[in-house]
Chain A
Amino acid sequence: MNKIGLLFQKYGTILALIGIVVFFSIMTETFLTSRNLINILSHISMLTIIATGMTVCMIPGDFDMSIASVASLSGVIVTSLILKGLGVFGSILITVGMGALFGVIAGILITRLKISAFIATLALGTIATGINFMFTRGQEVYGIFPDSFLAIAQKRVLGIPVQVFIMAVVIVVFTFAMEKTKMGKWMYSIGGSVKASFLSGINVRLLRVVGMIISGALAAFTGCILASRLGSGQPTAGDAYLMDAIAASFLGMTTIKVGRPNVPGTFVGALIIGVINNGLVIMGVSYFFQYIAKGAIIILAVSMTSFRSSESF
Chain B
Amino acid sequence: MKVVEMISVRKEFPGVVALDNINFSLEEGEIHGLVGENGAGKSTLINILAGVFQQTSGELRLFGKPVKLSSPSDALHRGIGVVYQDTVLDPFFTAEENIWLGREPSRLSVLKGREIRSDTKRLCDKYGIVVPLGIPVGTLSVAKQKMVEILRALSMNSKVLVLDEPTASITQSDTDNLFEILKNLKKSGISIIFVSHHLDEVFNLCDRISVLRNGCYEGTFASSELSTRDLIKLMTNRDLVDQYPKRASEIGEEILKVSNLNVARFGLKDISFEVKRGEIVGFFGMVGSGRTELMKSIFGAHEIDSGEITINNEKIRIKGPSKAMRAGVYLCPEDRRREGVVQDMSVIDNLTSPFLGTLTRLGVINSRESRARAGKVSSELKIKAPSLKTIISHLSGGNQQKVVLGKWLLGPESRVFIFDEPTQGIDVGAKSEFYRIMQEIAKKGCGVLFVSSDIRELLGIADRIYVMRLGRITAEFKRGEYDQHSILENALSDSLAARSEKDE
Contact = CB atoms under 8 A, between A and B. Distances in A.
Interface of A: 180-183, 185-186, 188-189, 192-193, 195-202, 259-260
Contacts of B97: 185, 189
B287 interface: no
Nearest to A198: B72
Given A180-B111, A185-B111, A197-B102, 16 more contacts: A183-B109, A185-B101, A186-B101, A188-B93, A189-B93, A189-B97, A192-B93, A193-B90, A196-B90, A196-B101, A199-B84, A200-B103, A201-B71, A201-B76, A201-B103, A202-B102
The interface residues of chain B, by DSSP majority, are classed as loop
Contacts of A181: 106, 109-111
Contacts of B91: 192-193
A183 B111 CA distance: 9
* Most chain A CB within a 10 A radius of its CB, from B90, B109, B110, B111: B90
A198 B84 CA distance: 13
A196 B88 contact: yes
A260 B73 contact: no
| Top 5 closest pairs, chain A to chain B, by CB | A201-B73, A200-B102, A192-B90, A200-B101, A196-B88
A200 B92 contact: no
A185 B101 CA distance: 8
Contacts of A189: 90, 93, 97, 101
A186 B102 contact: yes
Contacts of B152: 200
Nearest to B86: A195
Contacts of A259: 92
Contacts of A193: 88-91
Contacts of B84: 199
B92 A199 contact: no
A91 B101 CA distance: 40
A116 to B, nearest CB: 14
Interface string B19-63: 000000000000000000000000000000010100000000000
Contacts of A183: 109
A201 B88 contact: no
Contacts of B98: 196
Contacts, number: 65
Interface residues of B, number: 25
Contacts of B101: 185-186, 189, 196-197, 200, 202
Interface in B86-129: 88-93, 97-98, 101-104, 106, 109-111
Nearest to A179: B111
A185 B112 CA distance: 12
A200 B102 CA distance: 5
B378 to A, nearest CB: 29
B110 A200 contact: no
A200 B73 contact: yes
B163 to A, nearest CB: 15
A185 B50 CA distance: 24
A184 to B, nearest CB: 8
A147 B466 CA distance: 84
Contacts of A192: 90-93
Nearest to B74: A201
A152 to B, nearest CB: 29
B303 to A, nearest CB: 9
Contacts of B52: 199
Nearest to B102: A200
B90 A182 contact: no
Nearest to A196: B88
Contact of B88 (A182, A195, A202): A195
A192 B138 CA distance: 10
10 contacts: A182-B109, A185-B101, A189-B97, A192-B91, A196-B88, A196-B89, A197-B101, A201-B76, A202-B101, A260-B92
A37 B86 CA distance: 51
Nearest to B88: A196
Contacts of A199: 50, 52, 72, 84, 88
A185 B104 contact: yes
Contacts of B106: 181-182
Nearest to B97: A185
Contacts of B74: 201
A175 to B, nearest CB: 13
A9 to B, nearest CB: 14
Contacts of B50: 199
Contacts of B73: 200-201
B72 A182 contact: no
Contacts of A202: 101-102
Nearest to A190: B90
* Most chain B CB within a 10 A radius of its CB, from A186, A189, A197, A199: A199
Contacts of B111: 180-182, 185
Contacts of B110: 180-182
Contacts of B93: 188-189, 192
A120 B382 CA distance: 43
Nearest to B106: A182
Contacts of A188: 90, 92-93
Contacts of B92: 188, 192, 259-260
A111 to B, nearest CB: 17
A189 to B, nearest CB: 5
Nearest to A186: B102
A195 B76 CA distance: 16
A254 B453 CA distance: 39
A298 to B, nearest CB: 24
A198 B91 CA distance: 15
Contacts of A180: 110-111
Contacts of B103: 200-201
A199 B72 CA distance: 6
A201 B89 contact: no
B338 to A, nearest CB: 12
A243 B152 CA distance: 41
Nearest to A203: B102
B265 to A, nearest CB: 10
Contacts of A198: 72
A284 B201 CA distance: 74
A51 B50 CA distance: 40
B179 to A, nearest CB: 25
A63 to B, nearest CB: 19
A193 B138 CA distance: 11
A197 B88 CA distance: 8
A55 B10 CA distance: 45
A202 B84 CA distance: 17
A201 B88 CA distance: 13
Contact of B72 (A185, A186, A201, A260): A201
